[in-house]
Structure 1
């Protein structure tokens, strides 16, 4: 079955990298600091939140779906983490678990509506986007939450590599990309994701439970939105109810520019 990333047309695989190399070459000519280690470390720090959201978005798009709710679900997760820690004095690990439970729950709701109610992913996630936005504003009182335990900002701290300050959160993002690259290429569940996106009916006839695969994908995407929420809190030191308003489009753009087809079944995580 034509379900693996190796079946991608060469241009779809190499095109984004060629464009990236050309862009890097242009900016390198404009400034001798562009290719410095410090600049790359700063770029990683700036993109780590959207980068992790894009992992979850990639999984959804590989199944020929789309998740418009990703940014606001991430924002809600960050508000839940910081709010329960601030109001109830919960420790950082417990508060983080609460936030990630909420983002995973939203993923489960998305998955159930897509698989059981048979609603289009666009409509489903547009609805949950608005629900997440309303919940974020109501629960936070539209106020930024800054009274949080120090444990929530650990991933915003830096460590030195050859005199360059690198954020721990950026290192986590890179590790997640490597892990998901291995998952999609080398495991049966990863190949099932490609199969569902490529031809869901044929996949179902082979005995693969397509509904379970889709539900798993949306819930796993919710987990990644929760991790992104933690990185957002760690980077800013606060829970921001206005975060996530553009991250959905940023993440979708990153996924498409990275070579993943919006029609599903084709794409790579790295």
Structure 2
């Protein structure tokens, strides 16, 4: 009896430790979105044999790589308790600058790309300046710059699609073989963006400051964090990321389309929300944003493969957004209780 009792006592701390680690793992911000993504993949793999193939999975990543890149910048902004409604229009403007300069002006492709990214970066800096210096709400600022970028895109392009692009602009749309599956370079670049953002947010002081400002800007300022400079930097970096998204867009479509990006701002917000990132700032993981973008891609792809009309894809996505925001609200109320 004594031996059994001693054994039970030695096992009890190990069991408590295992339960503690399991509980901690389940509370991580990215776990919920990751489980939802896995469940969606299992569901559609059961419904259709075509879903769980290398070619189809690669296609899903290609389809979300542009919105995924936008979601990286959107995540940075939302973590500071802001929002960016202009990113889709800014991306479209950047893509038009890249393509028209390369085709109509005969500018070298690399230089045209850099100018296009610089234009997007300038819009990000403008957003950040108006939010920090003029102290305008991010919603109003980015709604205004959305209209400005949208108008400039159509004025500069004259509503004409730019074709005949050089290979330097469409390179990211090309593929390379991996385990008998063609993977685009653009898909890899999107994953690299997420990896860099994860490292900065989780492993650097600047990343911790982003969370601190989003959680409580005044408290962060009182601790010595330069909140204005940080917000300006966040919006500017987000603009640069939108420029990279513009290059991904050009690589995927092989044209400069002035009609592009009109709903991508909402799609990027959807990806962020489904990824478990709080719209109130200060909480969430960039990995969750990646899962959120993939969830949207998986649902749309899976429903299409199973013959469900496209309108139901929008319906289900909307329901998921409402559920995700409701969960976030409940978590905030529980945290205050």
With the shorter chain as reference, the TM-score category is over 0.9
Larger RCO, structure (CA 8 Å, separation 6 or more): 1
- Equivalent of 1:181, from 186, 198, 212? 198
Distance in 1, matches of 2:232 and 2:201, equals: 16
1:258 pairs with 2:275:
yes
- Equivalent of 2:145, from 125, 128, 134? 128
1:19 pairs with 2:36:
yes
Q: By percentage of residues, which structure has more helix?
A: 2
TM superposition shift of 1:25 = 1.5
Q: Secondary structure at the match of 1:260?
A: coil
Distance in 2, matches of 1:228 and 1:48, equals: 8
Tell me if structure 1 keeps the 8 A contact 2:72–2:241. Answer: yes
Distance in 1, matches of 2:123 and 2:138, equals: 13
Map of 2:13 onto structure 1: none
TM superposition shift of 1:40 = 1.1
Distance in 1, matches of 2:39 and 2:176, equals: 31
Distance in 2, matches of 1:74 and 1:55, equals: 13
122-131 or 147-156, larger mean C-alpha shift: 147-156
Tell me if structure 1 keeps the 8 A contact 2:29–2:285. Answer: no
Cα root mean square deviation, aligned: 1.4
Distance in 1, matches of 2:277 and 2:68, equals: 14
TM-score (norm 2): 0.76
- Equivalent of 2:186, from 169, 181, 190? 169
Tell me if structure 1 keeps the 8 A contact 2:26–2:32. Answer: no
Cα 1:192–1:11 shift into 2, 3 Å? closer
1:147 pairs with 2:164:
yes
TM superposition shift of 1:113 = 0.2
Map of 1:55 onto structure 2: 72
TM superposition shift of 1:9 = 8.3
User: Which of structures 1 and 2 has the bigger CA Rg?
Assistant: 2
Unaligned runs of 5+ in 1: 1-6
- Equivalent of 2:242, from 210, 225, 228? 225
TM superposition shift of 1:147 = 2.9
Aligned residues: 264
TM superposition shift of 1:18 = 2.4
Q: Secondary structure at the match of 2:81?
A: coil
Map of 2:132 onto structure 1: 115
1:31 pairs with 2:48:
yes
Distance in 1, matches of 2:51 and 2:140, equals: 41
7-16 or 110-119, larger mean C-alpha shift: 7-16
TM-score (norm 1): 0.95
